[in-house]
């Protein structure tokens, strides 16, 4: 089997509400999504998605993703997509770094490999040990009252996990944490996500002021060096996500004891193939995991669900359903959807959900083996 064609689509995915991060420093209203359709000489078709959370959140850029695909296409056409490590090596050789551009290709290759084997991606990765995952909400930076309203809205949809965005104003952050903890239900998972919004001394001020509550902070400061410095000064549990990009980051975090939780966002780390290694590092070191899409449609959520399914239940906290934050559904209701706060793994081989092509418009690029080989 070999890859013969790569079709690239661009879709703007509008957010239902404007979304603020980092104390109001970053605002998001639309996500620039890229979808890829890989076609093989044996008729199998695989789909991938790469949707960075805007271009101000982490170093990832919608137009950059599509430029990366153009650079890598000649190196992956003709390769057997079932050989995901071969595709990974070809992409890494063609374009070092730029992991967010590689992620949709990796996802589509796993989709094809699963269909070829008659197995879901999770089973092909070694076996799904869970079939459903609780969904985590994403509560943007807001006032105390707006935070309560947002959590209530997600509770009404069945959500039991919430990622509450803080950072940017220490006094307000402390007040919001205290208020959310006051209304927290016994079975709820709540993570306070700083998104790198604090300096070291700001992080210490909040950690000291809330230490009686024993809450967890995600990505409190900009770098792993910052987090290492904090760890020597305070014992608050920490989750790392934006600073977890490469396998080397994962091994450093594990070796130096920098976090209790890995936040693995698939588009940021380069897809399932690379994320699976981080999962194994985490499990080997007693580190728990949040698996998430970086953003995007039900396809990206479904990809995260497959990886989460390969993690023992007690080590995987939740997945995030970005689809619930969008006003455009490119799969017309198909694929895993929120059922009482859970996403359920599809039974179909491969990814288990494909987009409605009419929603994607015309391809913005098409790369083919025939063109590469000079055939007419």
Compare residues 5 and 218 and give the one whose CB is closer to Mg ion.
Answer: 218
Compare residues 262 and 342 and give the one whose CB is closer to Mg ion.
Answer: 262
CA 284 to chain centre: 21
Compare residues 103 and 219 and give the one whose CB is closer to Mg ion.
Answer: 219
Catalytic annotation, pick one of 265, 274, 339, 362: 265
Residue 263 beta carbon to Mg ion: minimum distance, rounded to whole angstroms: 5
Compare residues 5 and 193 and give the one whose CB is closer to Mg ion.
Answer: 193
Q: Does 227 bind Mg ion (CB under 5 A)?
A: no
User: Per-residue contact track with Mg ion, 125 to 144, x per CB under 5 A?
Assistant: --------------------
CA 234 to chain centre: 28
Q: Does 301 bind Mg ion (CB under 5 A)?
A: no
Q: Does 220 bind Mg ion (CB under 5 A)?
A: no
Place of tokens 């490590």: 85
The answer to whether residue 165 is catalytic is yes
Distance CA 257, CA 230 (A): 12
Residue 292 beta carbon to Mg ion: minimum distance, rounded to whole angstroms: 8
Q: Does 193 bind Mg ion (CB under 5 A)?
A: yes
Distance CA 57, CA 51 (A): 12
CB 219 within 8 A of CB 239: yes
Binding-site size for Mg ion (CB under 5 A) equals 3
The answer to whether residue 362 is catalytic is no
Catalytic annotation, pick one of 37, 102, 142, 165: 165
The window from 6-14, 32-40, 189-197, 248-256 that contacts Mg ion (CB under 5 A) reads 189-197
Compare residues 125 and 282 and give the one whose CB is closer to Mg ion.
Answer: 282
Strands 3-21, 45-50: pairing kind: unpaired
Q: Does 19 bind Mg ion (CB under 5 A)?
A: no
The window from 205-213, 234-242, 266-274, 319-327 that contacts Mg ion (CB under 5 A) reads 234-242
Neighbours of 61 (CB within 10 A): 18
Q: Does 196 bind Mg ion (CB under 5 A)?
A: no
Q: Does 241 bind Mg ion (CB under 5 A)?
A: yes
Distance CA 149, CA 136 (A): 16
The window from 99-107, 134-142, 187-195, 249-257 that contacts Mg ion (CB under 5 A) reads 187-195
Residue 347 beta carbon to Mg ion: minimum distance, rounded to whole angstroms: 31
Q: Does 218 bind Mg ion (CB under 5 A)?
A: yes
Compare residues 193 and 202 and give the one whose CB is closer to Mg ion.
Answer: 193
Q: Which residues are catalytic?
A: 165, 265
Sites of contact with Mg ion (CB under 5 A): 193, 218, 241
């Amino acid at each position: 089997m070999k890859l013969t064609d790569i079709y690239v689509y661009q879709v703007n995915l509008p957010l239902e509400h404007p979304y603020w991060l980092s104390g109001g420093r970053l605002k998001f209203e639309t996500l620039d999504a890229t979808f890829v359709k890989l076609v093989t000489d044996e008729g199998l078709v695989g789909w991938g998605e790469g949707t960075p959370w805007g271009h101000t959140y982490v170093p990832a850029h919608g137009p950059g993703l599509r430029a990366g695909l153009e650079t890598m296409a000649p190196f992956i056409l003709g390769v057997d997509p079932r050989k995901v490590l071969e595709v990974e090596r070809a992409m890494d050789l063609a374009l070092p770094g730029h992991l967010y551009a590689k992620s949709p290709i990796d996802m589509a290759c796993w989709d094809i490999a699963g269909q070829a084997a008659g197995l879901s991606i999770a089973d092909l990765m070694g076996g799904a040990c869970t079939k459903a995952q609780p969904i985590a909400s994403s509560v943007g930076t807001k006032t105390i009252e707006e935070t309560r309203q947002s959590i209530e809205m997600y509770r009404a949809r069945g959500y039991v996990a919430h990622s509450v965005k803080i950072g940017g104003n220490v006094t307000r952050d402390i007040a919001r944490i205290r208020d959310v903890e006051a209304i927290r239900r016994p079975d709820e998972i709540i993570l306070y996500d700083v998104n790198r919004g604090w300096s070291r001394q700001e992080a210490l001020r909040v950690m000291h002021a809330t230490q009686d509550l024993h809450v967890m902070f995600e990505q409190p400061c900009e770098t792993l060096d910052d987090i290492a410095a904090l760890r020597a000064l305070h014992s608050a549990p920490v989750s790392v996500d934006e600073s977890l990009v490469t396998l080397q980051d994962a091994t450093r975090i594990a070796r130096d004891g920098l976090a209790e939780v890995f936040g693995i966002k698939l588009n940021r780390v380069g897809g399932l193939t690379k994320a699976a290694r981080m999962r194994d590092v985490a499990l080997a070191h007693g580190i728990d995991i949040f698996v998430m899409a970086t953003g995007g449609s039900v396809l990206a959520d479904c990809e995260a669900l497959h990886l989460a399914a390969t993690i023992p239940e007690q080590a995987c906290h939740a997945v995030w359903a970005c689809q619930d934050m969008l006003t455009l559904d490119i799969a017309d209701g198909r694929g895993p959807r929120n059922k009482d706060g859970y996403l359920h793994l599809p039974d179909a081989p491969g990814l288990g959900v494909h987009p409605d092509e009419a929603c994607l418009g015309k391809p913005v690029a098409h790369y083919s083996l025939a063109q590469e080989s000079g055939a007419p």
